[in-house]
Amino acid sequence: MAVTDDILATYRGPRRVAARLLAGERHEARPLAWLLAALGLFLVARAPGMSRAAHLDPATPFAPQMLATALALCALIPAFYGLAAIGHLAARAAGGRGDWFGARVALFWALLAVAPLTLVQGLVAAFAGPGPAHLAVGVLVFVAFLLFWGAGLAAAEFGGRR
Q: Which domain holds residue 126?
A: 3-158
Helix (H, G, I), strand (E, B) or coil at 16: helix
**Under-70 pLDDT residues of the chain:** 1, 160-162
Q: How far, rounded to the nearest angstrom, does the alpha carbon of residue 64 sit from its chain's CA centroid? A: 24
pLDDT of the residue at 162: 44
Per the structure, how many domains does the chain have? 1
Q: What is the pTM of this model?
A: 0.92
Dist CA 84 CA 78 (whole Å): 10
Inter-CA distances, 44 with 34, 58, 66, 152, Å? 15, 21, 9, 25
Dist CA 155 CA 158 (whole Å): 6
pLDDT of the residue at 55: 92
What type of residue sits at position 40?
Answer: G
DSSP 63-118: HHHHHHHHHHHHHTHHHHHHHHHHHHHHHHHTT----HHHHHHHHHHHHHHHHHHH
pLDDT of the residue at 117: 96
pLDDT of the residue at 134: 92
